[in-house]
Amino acid sequence: MIKEAFGKGVAILEGLGTVFKHVFEKPVTVQFPEEFKPFAERFKGRHELKRYENGLEKCIGCALCAAACPADAIWVEAEENTDEERYSPGERYAKTYEINMLRCIFCGYCEDACPTEAIVLEKHYELSFTDRRDAIYTKEMLLVPPPEGQEDTPRKVEPGSFDRSIPVMEDPK
Amino acid sequence: MQPQKTEQFTVPIGPQHPALKEPSSFLISVDGEVVTNAIVRLGYAHRGIEKATESRTYVQNLYLLERICGICSHIHGTAFAMGVERLAGVEVPPRAQAIRLIIAELERIHSHMLWLGVGAHQGGFDALFMFSWRDRETVMDLLESISGNRVNYSANVLGGVKFDLTAAHIGDILKALDYLEERTHHYLKVVTTDASFLQRTRGIGTMTRHQAEVLGAIGPTARASGVLRDVRIEAPYGAYVDHPVTTITDDRGDLEARFAVRIKELFESYRLIREVLDDLPPGDIKTRVKRKIPEGEAAFRVEAPRGELFYFIKSDGTDIPSRVKVRTPTICNMTSVVKLAVGHQLADVPMILAGIDPCFSCNDRMVRVNRNNGSDGWTWEQLRQHGIEYYKQRSQDYDPLVVG
């Protein structure tokens, strides 16, 4: 009886010892709004629509991302480019590009489907809304600003200078 | 339900209950504190995923089916991809199979760690819960660095995997496994020797070998009752053919055995990952699969962390499956909870339930809508219309642009 009680007392002390040992360890918690955990290189966050170095939009409005999307989150409407008003190289550009962030499952399949590497899942992940309508990210919100020193789109260009919609690229690895 | 005796009382738990993580309903009849009968009702988290697969292509379904379970998502994708690859007659490169195995085993580690925490929490042992979840983060970080996502890795594509393992990844994995192995030795010691925790687990929810066979228990739950039931051994798939698994069984069948079996399985996962990483086959990580899958039917079984996962895929020759049927492990183990709870204290029921590692929204695969006019069911359109009207009545702003 006494032996049993003594055994239990030792067990409790042993357990407390384990807990007490952790008091002196460095906490693993991250103080989130002030501190951030480093991102993994392959992290999939909010989408961004990329531009070429010359400032033209990479998106050509082909809507392959919308077709590939398992969650039907993407809506694309294409419009013809003219040399007076040029957004992207080639014939067409995306007039409307909307992603419903409530539907998006961040699988990255749009990224895989894109022929011009225009849509990329970037590192931004703080997505919260107070209205369902705010969840729809429009083209203006997704498109990155043009590189420094480059003019914004639409722009007037020399006829015949941007005929090819898909640039010459290496095979994806 | 049986007619109630005067001294009996039925405790309804759920479908909405603060202690339940997911909706499900338990009707537990008690005589004093002792459970005399238990009834479980499932189906509150039905999401219609099987139906949704019939309007998406095979590749889109890969991502959708991963969302069936938030814990064992990779294994769902693997089962579907391997089933479709069998239909298409495609041979997956060995490197892809090895990577699938590594991610599946990492997922098993994180699932078992998660369960250890949940199980300990149900037993009132929150220190173990915190420690095991802290160490689980090691695996989560590994999976994030490999795939970019903490859960729902979307590692599979038809005909292979999406991501290759770099030398840096392999180094990280090996380093993390050493740390986890040391921690797991500690956890095994805790759950098998801690006196107060053993009072909650030893001899509780004992399922004999015979019961496990009759009730059709699978996975670690069955293995803790001495039943050798593991798809990785019965019907090896993918890289498990070359890297056989040693099954861990325990004859005691109580909660302590389930803790021991799952923790010992972690060691087996560590060994397996090290073995595969040791001779990771070089070469491609994917092969081309045609968009249209030839007509036919395929059934595929894999071993999810919770037990056997079964997929049935029927193709009609187009790029959209005509039927996908999923059976998740929890549904097979759920009967054992109802059976084992009888005769135990009411306070032991949460532990017994946690002992099978339940995943409610995974197992809700079918729902039957009874209409007043006596017809059998609703069409997709009718159901959608009903939904729209329902939300209109609740004066929520329905906007087809936003919702549809």
The radius of gyration of chain B from alpha carbons, rounded to an integer in Å, stands at 22
The verdict on A106 touching B (C-beta cutoff 8 Å) is: yes
* pLDDT category of residue B41 using cuts at 50, 70 and 90: confident
Q: What is the pLDDT of residue B403?
A: 46
Partners of B67 on chain A (C-beta within 8 Å) are 105
Contact call for A70 and B196, based on CB within 8 A: no
pLDDT digits (tens, 9 = 90+) for A55-72: 889 999 999 999 999 888
Helical ranges in chain A per DSSP H: 2-21, 64-68, 109-113, 139-142
Task: Give phi and psi for A78, each to the nearest 5.
Answer: -100, 155
Report the pLDDT averaged over residues A10-31: 84
Partners of B127 on chain A (C-beta within 8 Å) are 15, 18-19
Residue type for B99, please? I
Listed range (A17-31, B75-89, B302-316, B344-358) with the worst mean pLDDT: A17-31
Q: What is the pLDDT of residue B404?
A: 42
Coil, strand or helix at B323:
strand
Distance in Å, alpha carbon of B399 to nearest chain A alpha carbon: 9
Q: Which of B59, B60, B194 is the closest to A11 by Cβ?
A: B194
Contact call for B141 and A40, based on CB within 8 A: yes
* pLDDT category of residue A129 using cuts at 50, 70 and 90: confident
Q: Using CB atoms and an 8 Å cut-off, which of residues 49-68 of chain B contact chain A?
A: 56, 59-64, 66-67
- Cα–Cα dist B171/B212, whole Å: 41
A30-167: CATH, from 3.40.50.300, 3.20.20.80, 3.40.50.2020, 3.30.70.3270: 3.30.70.3270
Higher per-residue pLDDT: B19 or B333:
B333
The verdict on A68 touching B (C-beta cutoff 8 Å) is: yes
- Cα–Cα dist B298/B310, whole Å: 11
**Residue B64 is inside which H or E element, if any?**
helix B58-66
Report the pLDDT averaged over residues B241-267: 92
Report the pLDDT averaged over residues B223-238: 91
Report the pLDDT averaged over residues B66-94: 92
- Encoding tokens for residue B73? 């998502």
Q: Which residue has the tokens 């036919």?
A: B296
Listed range (A81-90, B162-171, B319-328, B361-370) with the worst mean pLDDT: B361-370
Coil, strand or helix at B228:
coil
Task: Give phi and psi for B101, each to the nearest 5.
Answer: -65, -45
Task: Calculate what percentage of chain A has a pLDDT beyond 70.
Answer: 95
CB pairs under 8 A between A and B: 70
Contact call for A70 and B399, based on CB within 8 A: no
Partners of B70 on chain A (C-beta within 8 Å) are none
Q: What is the pLDDT of residue A168?
A: 66
Q: For chain B, what is the mean pLDDT?
A: 88
pLDDT at B368 over 70: no
pLDDT at B215 over 50: yes
- Encoding tokens for residue B112? 């078992």
Q: Which of B60, B148, B196 is the closest to A70 by Cβ?
A: B60
Q: Spell A144-155 as b/e; 16+ CB within 10 A means b.
A: eebeeeeeebbb
Report CA B266 to chain centroid distance, whole Å: 16
Partners of A42 on chain B (C-beta within 8 Å) are 144-148, 163
**The complex's ipTM?**
0.82
- Encoding tokens for residue B150? 């903490």
The residue ranges of every structural domain in chain A are 30-167
Domains for chain B: give ranges and CATH numbers: 49-333 (1.10.645.10)
pLDDT digits (tens, 9 = 90+) for B150-199: 888 889 999 999 989 999 999 999 999 999 999 999 999 989 988 888 88
A120 and A48 Cβ atoms separated by less than 8 Å: yes
Among A155-159, B25-29, B369-373, the range with the most confident prediction by mean pLDDT is B25-29
Report the pLDDT averaged over residues B368-387: 74
Q: Which of A7, A42, A70 is the closest to B63 by Cβ?
A: A70
Nearest to A129 by CA among B304, B256, B402, B273: B402
Question: CB neighbours of A34 closer than 8 A, spacing ≥ 6?
Answer: none
